[in-house]
A = this chain, B = another copy of it.
Amino acid sequence: MMKMMSEQTSKGTLFVVTGPSGAGKGTVLGRALPAIDKIHYSISATTRQPRPGEIDGQSYYFVTHDRFRSMIDDGALLEYAEYVGNYYGTPVAAVDSELNAGRDVVLEIEVQGALMVKQKRPDAVLIFIIPPDFSLLEQRLHSRGSEPDDVIARRLEKARSEYQSGDRYDYIVVNDVLDEAVRELTSIIIAQRCKTEKRIDLLR
């Protein structure tokens, strides 16, 4: 029992940052990470085409549909999701090797995959990033300018259903003022490290 507790406390925490497309989760996380030490950002695999500026192995691992299918078959993905015609997934090996080494890991993934992670790993901390107002989602998606109207419409429909699963997230971060959202996300990660079950060894 003691041994189990000790092993548990030395493992890292799995943070899952998610939210509707256009809520700004990438921006918030990108600003928060430099202020947090000892955290590993997990790079997803995807079948979608790179957007301008995206680099393979840094933004994503860009893979073919065949390759993605064999990763699924091999059990090499912690979660995966189909989204607007493309697949996204989290390679499990890197995640587990970091967690087992006691480092925290953060995933930035779609809601569908986030809920899959929570089912497999109940200890994962799910953080849902939303805009202050639902109508801002549409505005942000349009201003990004990288997608046609029908894709945006499907993203918005998806977002509506994602809000319905709200009670399955552990935290909600409102991306209104960016600095505030960054501070909230950073605080959630730091607070998690202070939880008694993570530090109980200090009392012995």
| Count of chain copies | 2
Q: Is A130 part of the contact surface with B, judged by Cβ < 8 Å?
A: yes
Chain A residues 159 to 204 lying within 8 A of chain B, measured CB to CB, are: 163-164, 166-167, 169-174, 183-184, 186-188, 190-196, 199-200, 202-203
A177 CB → nearest B CB, Å? 13
Chain A interface SS verdict (over half):
helix
Q: Is A88 part of the contact surface with B, judged by Cβ < 8 Å?
A: no
**In the complex, A170 Cα to B198 Cα: how many Å?**
10
Q: Is A128 part of the contact surface with B, judged by Cβ < 8 Å?
A: yes
If A172-B194, A187-B188 are given as contacts, then 18 extra A-B residue pairs at C-beta distance below 8 Å, sorted by A number, are A130-B202, A164-B203, A166-B200, A167-B196, A170-B195, A170-B196, A172-B195, A172-B196, A183-B190, A184-B190, A184-B193, A186-B187, A187-B187, A187-B190, A187-B194, A188-B191, A191-B191, A191-B192
Contacting pair B130 A172 (CB below 8 A): no
- Report the nearest B residue to A170, measured CB to CB: B196
- Report the nearest B residue to A35, measured CB to CB: B183
